[in-house]
């Protein structure tokens, strides 16, 4: 069952009063379907979901072409006040059960299984507070994430600043990390099977976990499918946690509609992020996202993942000047990169050069740019890791010059406001 324009909230507050970020009533956002209630926690909001399953019920419905306004909290559903603290050793919320606190799903009227749904991002209004965390879940965290840290940002429409990173100002480049439809039973079973196989082989996988799962009736400890609901951490064929900063205002994302009505959900909003989100988080925030949808005629083949398009301006770095480093798949003989340990190869440790390994090249580029930030600007390693996560772009240089494929790390220099 779905509710036609009845699940609406006209007065919204991000993270309750402590965040000091409010939105007005329905007249402030205009006509459309409004989804989400930020005056309560995710656990109390019927439109907050944090698992993926074909049987998750729709909470609202919208016509094709109709504006949908999603009021969504940050990924961890945190209440933060930057006047109380700027940083801590760890996230104030224990565990990752609530991740990601999404808003939806919405039934798109007229959309049928087999369609391709175009989701156009019209606006994303940020909250007033954001955060970034460093920990063991980031890229190359065994090298750079050993000193856990959690920092809070003050946000406005133009930039983010944190007392924990003096001299840094990150321009607003807001985008939704998660935009997803619901999988059908067939894809859902395939995903469960392959991720279970990978987990049993020692790969990095977050398996189904009913702790803090929403909707609890389906995915919770006493729910109908507690061991079947997918975590939202990885992107998959149906979309999900893409974390692509170019999927932003003015762009259109193409997603498969795998069940009637598609089941559109969004969340994990980011104020800014570098390509790679290397520390595991960007500048995480809540916000107000407005989208419109349509069915694509002569749709593209999405079997390898979602497509998107938009103005080329979104591909540029948010800076007039940059500094960049390069990385190649080179390592110390005797070592095994953390991401390859589970394969138990007898060959890797004895080599000092891996053929075509983009992951190792990216790790080396990241290490070089972190060293540069530390040496040139005086930040410690963990601060530099944060800066890289929210501002540095890791980009592939080339994939053909084997064995040494190349990755470049691009640092925008205008973020260092004390050097202006």
Q: Which CATH superfamily is domain 12-310 in?
A: Acetamidase/Formamidase-like domains (2.60.120.580)
Q: Are 292 and 67 in contact (CB under 8 A)?
A: yes
**What does DSSP assign to residue 301?**
-
Quickly count: other Cβ atoms within 10 Å of residue 3's Cβ: 14
The whole-number average pLDDT for the span 243-264 is: 98
For the stretch 366-411, pLDDT in tens is 999 999 999 999 999 999 999 999 999 999 999 999 999 999 999 9
User: What distance in Å separates the CA atoms of residue 170 and residue 127, rounded to the nearest whole number?
Assistant: 15
E strands, 302-374, are: 307-309, 322-327
Predicted pLDDT of residue 363: 98
Predicted pLDDT of residue 420: 57
E strands, 110-243, are: 116-126, 129-134, 149-155, 159-161, 170-171, 175-180, 235-236, 239-241
Predicted pLDDT of residue 340: 97
Q: Are 30 and 97 in contact (CB under 8 A)?
A: no
Q: pTM, whole model, 2 decimals? A: 0.93
pLDDT over 90 (residue 118): yes
Lowest mean pLDDT among 5-9, 113-117, 301-305: 5-9
Q: Which CATH superfamily is domain 322-419 in?
A: Acetamidase/Formamidase-like domains (3.10.28.20)
Quickly count: other Cβ atoms within 10 Å of residue 233's Cβ: 17
For the stretch 167-183, pLDDT in tens is 999 999 999 999 999 99
CA neighbor of 343 nearest in space, from 217, 194, 201: 201
pLDDT over 90 (residue 236): yes
pLDDT over 60 (residue 7): no
For the stretch 129-159, pLDDT in tens is 999 999 899 999 999 999 999 999 999 999 9
For the stretch 284-299, pLDDT in tens is 999 999 999 999 999 9
Predicted pLDDT of residue 11: 31
For the stretch 67-84, pLDDT in tens is 999 999 999 999 999 988
Kindly give, in sequence order, each residue whose CB lies less than 8 Å from that of residue 298, ignoring residues fewer than 6 positions away: none
Residue 410 β-bridge partners: 324, 393
**What does DSSP assign to residue 285?**
E
Q: Where are the domains of the chain?
A: 12-310, 322-419
Predicted pLDDT of residue 135: 86
250 vs 30 pLDDT, higher one: 250
Residue 253: strand, helix, or coil: strand
**What does DSSP assign to residue 260?**
T
Residue 141 β-bridge partners: none
Residue at token pair 């049928």 = 112
For the stretch 14-38, pLDDT in tens is 333 333 333 333 445 567 999 999 9
pLDDT over 60 (residue 44): yes
Residue 143: strand, helix, or coil: helix
The whole-number average pLDDT for the span 343-359 is: 97
Q: Are 388 and 279 in contact (CB under 8 A)?
A: yes
Work out the angle between the directed axes of helices 358-377 and 381-391 (0-180°, nearest 10): 120
The whole-number average pLDDT for the span 93-115 is: 97
Q: Are 132 and 284 in contact (CB under 8 A)?
A: yes
**pLDDT band at residue 418 under the 50/70/90 scheme:** confident
User: What distance in Å separates the CA atoms of residue 380 and residue 399, rounded to the nearest whole number?
Assistant: 32
Predicted pLDDT of residue 13: 32
């Amino acid at each position: 069952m779905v509710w036609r324009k009845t699940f609406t909230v006209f007065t919204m507050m991000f993270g309750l009063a402590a965040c000091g970020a409010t939105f007005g009533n329905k007249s402030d956002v205009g006509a459309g379907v409004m989804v989400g209630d930020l005056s309560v926690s995710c656990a109390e909001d019927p439109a907050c979901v944090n698992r993926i399953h074909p049987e998750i019920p729709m909470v609202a419905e919208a016509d094709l072409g109709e504006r949908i306004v999603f009021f969504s909290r940050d990924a961890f559903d945190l209440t933060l006040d930057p006047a109380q603290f700027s940083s801590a050793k760890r996230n104030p919320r224990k565990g990752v059960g609530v991740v990601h606190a999404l808003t939806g799903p919405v039934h798109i009227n007229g959309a049928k299984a087999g369609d391709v749904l175009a989701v156009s991002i019209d606006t994303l209004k940020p909250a007033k507070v954001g955060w970034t965390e460093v920990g063991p879940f980031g890229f190359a965290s065994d090298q750079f994430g050993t000193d856990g840290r959690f920092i809070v940002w003050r946000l406005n429409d133009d930039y983010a600043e944190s007392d924990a990173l003096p001299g840094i100002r990150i321009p607003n480049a807001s985008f939704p990390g998660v935009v997803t439809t619901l999988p059908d039973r067939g894809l859902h079973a395939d995903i469960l099977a392959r991720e279970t196989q990978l987990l049993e082989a020692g790969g990095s996988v977050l398996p189904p976990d009913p702790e803090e799962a929403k909707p609890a009736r389906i995915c919770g400890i006493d729910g109908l499918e507690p061991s079947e609901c997918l975590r939202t951490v990885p992107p998959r064929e149906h979309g999900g946690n893409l974390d692509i900063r170019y999927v932003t205002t003015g762009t259109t994302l193409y997603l498969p509609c795998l069940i009637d009505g598609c089941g559109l959900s969004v969340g994990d909003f980011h104020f800014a992020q570098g390509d790679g989100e290397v520390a595991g988080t960007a500048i995480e925030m809540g916000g107000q996202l407005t989208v419109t949808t349509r069915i694509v005629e002569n749709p593209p083949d999405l079997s390898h993942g979602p497509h998107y398009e938009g103005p080329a301006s979104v591909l540029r770095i948010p800076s007039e000047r940059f500094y960049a480093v390069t990385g190649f798949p080179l390592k110390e003989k005797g070592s095994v990169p953390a991401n390859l340990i589970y394969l138990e190869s007898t060959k890797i440790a004895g080599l000092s050069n891996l053929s075509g390994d983009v992951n190792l090249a990216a790790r080396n580029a990241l290490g070089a740019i972190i060293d540069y930030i530390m040496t040139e600007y005086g930040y410690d390693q963990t601060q530099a890791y944060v800066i890289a996560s929210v501002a540095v772009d890791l980009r592939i240089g080339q994939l053909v010059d084997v064995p040494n494929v190349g990755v470049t790390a691009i640092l925008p220099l205008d973020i260092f406001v004390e050097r202006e």
